[in-house]
Amino acid sequence: MNPDKPTYILWLPSWYPNKLEPYDGDFIQRHALAVSAFIPVHVVHFVRDKGKIITNSVFVEEKKTGNLTETIVYYSNQISSRGIIEKISSVGKFRSLYRKIIHDLFLKKGLPSLVHVHIAFKAGLVARWIRKKYAIQFFLSEHWTIYLAEARPNFKDLNYFKRYLISKIVKDASKVFPVSNYLGQAIRKRWPDVSYEVVPNVVDIKVFYPGERSVDETCHLIHISNLNYQKDPEKLFRAIKLLKAAGFKFFLDVFGTRNESIKSQINGYGIEDVVTFHQEVPQRILAEHLRNSDALILYSRYETFGCVIIEANACGIPVIVADIPVMHELVRQNENGVLVSPGSAEALADAVINVFNDRKFSKQNIVRSAKLYSYAEVGKLIFDEYLSLGTSNSG
């Protein structure tokens, strides 16, 4: 990219906030905001409206915030029957739609300096077509747990068609940006020739910042996740049961999905009086809850990063996490959190008691650890990667 010829970067995310899923890929949107401080970014995101809630055909909405333009394209399939015919029709509509949308964008705005894909499938299909037709290179950012061997599901669980297409996308990318080295190594195990550079997630320090709260004898804990297999809710709630049985004074705020399985666990452990569930909320509200907590718990089986960790740290509170490989990239033992032996409710319960009773963490040091993930730091990192490509695709 030629820094002397200002242009724009086309972002093609597979996940992105939209009317049907307001929080889907919100971490990618934060990346876009960070980068737009350095160069104009135009996001184009395609959303299949299976239930025809937004449209019976095609609906395009556009929003501009400073240097960031977001175009969300909703589309539905005219064929309502399920099966191979409907799938073929949907694929065909997506293919013709993205070609028209991108063609019209380029006519109106000119060619971008380069394309940046977030999550290979299926936005990477659009990037490969642009690369072939317009000779514009693309970068690929990855957050997806699918590449981790321990994940459920993982790459081998995808059908052959998806595995084939993802392989093509990864191989064609000029560079891959995993959000952690652990994820980068997992990708490289499958594609040894991949060139990658770690680009972590970001935290908005204008929203997540430390506050003051009075210290009392009750420990305020918080957990933020969708409570699926990856997050190991059973061990979390077993630890809560142990804490209650030990007479430890606490309560836990959970921001996540409360399905029937989770309800059954809560009732079975008899902890409904110390656990409060909340729906997904805007970040400013989540930040308030973090500031009023003593510690965040994220006791996952596996992760590629952990946005809630840097958000908690930005608010000045320590994190209690499972001692899995990726956490060593984010957590320094007894500085901004504690690493706990994985798979043990007893170890987790002990860690909670120790963190609360010791109160040995320096809020200033915790907050400092999160500044590495600010919009300014990560936005500049991505912009420098754009500049390093050293070519301009304009004209």
Any domain includes 303:
yes
Cis peptide bond prior to 122, omega within 30° of 0: yes
CB–CB of 76/56 below 8 Å?
yes
Looking at the structure, tell me whether residues 87 and 122 fall in a common domain.
yes
Any domain includes 66:
yes
Looking at the structure, tell me whether residues 228 and 108 fall in a common domain.
no
Any domain includes 4:
no
Looking at the structure, tell me whether residues 17 and 148 fall in a common domain.
yes
**The tokens of 138 are what?**
């693309």
Kindly report the number of other CB atoms within 10 A of residue 41's CB atom.
25
Looking at the structure, tell me whether residues 25 and 171 fall in a common domain.
yes
Distances (CA, A) of 8 to 31, 36, 149, 304: 15, 9, 36, 29
| Residues 6 or more apart whose Cβ sits within 8 Å of residue 143 | 27, 28, 118, 119, 179, 183, 201, 304, 305
- By C-alpha distance, which of 373, 362, 352, 258 is closest to 298? 352
CB–CB of 8/347 below 8 Å?
no
Indicate the burial class of 11 (C-beta count within 10 angstroms; 0-12, 13-18, 19 or more).
buried
Using the structure block, give the residue that is written with the tokens 């659009």: 126
**The tokens of 395 are what?**
């004209």
Looking at the structure, tell me whether residues 103 and 237 fall in a common domain.
no
Kindly report the number of other CB atoms within 10 A of residue 204's CB atom.
18
CB–CB of 325/303 below 8 Å?
no
- By C-alpha distance, which of 190, 145, 141 is closest to 30? 141
Tally of structural domains, the chain: 2
Give the pLDDT confidence score for residue 85 in this predicted structure.
61
- Which SS3 state, helix, strand or coil, does residue 137 take? coil
In Å, how far from its chain's centre is CA 259?
22
Give the pLDDT confidence score for residue 395 in this predicted structure.
37
Looking at the structure, tell me whether residues 136 and 259 fall in a common domain.
no
Looking at the structure, tell me whether residues 360 and 378 fall in a common domain.
no
- By C-alpha distance, which of 360, 368, 353, 318 is closest to 338? 318
Q: b/e string for 103-117 if b means 16 or more Cβ within 10 A?
A: eebbeeeebbbbbbb
Distance separating alpha carbons of residues 32 and 28, to the nearest angstrom:
6
Distance separating alpha carbons of residues 290 and 312, to the nearest angstrom:
6
**The tokens of 370 are what?**
């999160």
Tell me the residue type at 61: E
Looking at the structure, tell me whether residues 245 and 334 fall in a common domain.
yes
- By C-alpha distance, which of 229, 202, 250, 236 is closest to 320? 236
Any domain includes 207:
no
Any domain includes 210:
no
Any domain includes 48:
yes
Using the structure block, give the residue that is written with the tokens 């109106």: 108
User: What is the number of alpha carbons within 13 Å of residue 218 lying toward its C-beta?
Assistant: 7
Give the pLDDT confidence score for residue 33 in this predicted structure.
98
Give the pLDDT confidence score for residue 90 in this predicted structure.
80
Q: The domain spanning residue 101 has which CATH number?
A: 3.40.50.2000
Looking at the structure, tell me whether residues 129 and 266 fall in a common domain.
no
Looking at the structure, tell me whether residues 187 and 248 fall in a common domain.
no
Element (H, E) at 171: helix 160-172
Looking at the structure, tell me whether residues 100 and 131 fall in a common domain.
yes
Per-residue pLDDT of the chain (395 residues; tens, 9 = 90+): 666 565 899 999 999 999 999 999 999 999 999 999 999 999 999 999 999 999 999 999 999 999 999 999 999 987 766 667 667 678 889 999 999 999 999 999 999 999 999 999 999 999 999 999 999 999 999 999 999 999 999 999 999 999 999 999 999 999 999 999 999 999 999 999 999 999 999 999 999 999 988 878 999 999 999 999 999 999 999 999 999 999 999 999 999 889 999 999 999 999 999 999 999 999 999 999 999 999 999 999 999 999 999 999 999 999 999 999 999 999 999 999 999 999 999 999 999 999 999 888 999 999 999 999 999 999 999 999 999 985 444 43
* Residues spanned by the domain of 196: 9-202+374-388
Looking at the structure, tell me whether residues 285 and 180 fall in a common domain.
no
Distance separating alpha carbons of residues 11 and 46, to the nearest angstrom:
12
Give the pLDDT confidence score for residue 393 in this predicted structure.
42
